Amino acid sequence: MPRRHWEDFSPGQITDCGSRLVTREEIIAFAAEYDPQPMHLDEQAARGTLLGGLVASGWHSIGILMRMLSDDFIGRSNFLGSPGLDEVKWLAPLRPGERVSARATVLETRASRSRPDVGFVTFRLELLDAAGKPLLAMVLSPMFGRRPAGAASGAGQGAAGRP
């Protein structure tokens, strides 16, 4: 399958990616390395916090989302990274044993003014729980390479949305 270029994205496209069981062990391992707060590290201590039990670090939930997008979506495109991030909302706690999935919705696309071989795609990215409720939503505008003249399209007609 040809890799997706900037031209293959258009507003309204929705891509659903992966499904992954989040374990207590990985929640604690991430927190021990990057976000050692009691609510992410220890069930007993977490019971006394606002959320009433062990929850994943918000940075861990972003990592899980990015990994699912990377495997199923970004890794199959001419992805060039992102200069920044507009907004993150942690909408509901991610608890151990949850099965999560990822969704990317294209909000807009724009060509780079300074680089004719590059374009930006603004996505709403969401981490969803097993019932489809968003736990995390963020707006990210990464760069993608544009299709060289004469190259094949990365997404067939009608197949651009859900792989």
Q: Which residues bind its own copies (CB under 8 A)?
A: 33-37, 39, 49-51, 58-59, 62-64, 66-67, 70-71, 74-75, 79-90
Cβ 80 vs Cβ 72: under 8 Å: no
**85-89: long-range pairs with CB below 8 Å, 24+:** 85/138, 85/139, 85/140, 86/122, 86/138, 86/139, 86/140, 86/141, 87/138, 87/139, 88/58, 88/62, 88/136, 88/137, 88/138, 89/136, 89/137, 89/138
Select 43 or 86, whichever has its Cβ closest to its own copies: 86
Give the shortest CB-46-to-its own copies separation in angstroms.
11
Report the residue number, 23 or 37, with the smaller CB distance to its own copies: 37
CB 149 → its own copies: shortest distance, Å?
21
Minimum distance, C-beta of residue 79 to its own copies, in the bound complex (Å):
7
Other Cβ atoms within 10 Å of 126 Cβ, number: 22
Of 40 and 147, the one with the shorter C-beta distance to its own copies is: 40
Cβ closest to its own copies, residue 10 vs residue 37: 37
83: its two tokens: 């200069």
What is the nearest approach in angstroms of its own copies to the Cβ of residue 52?
A: 13
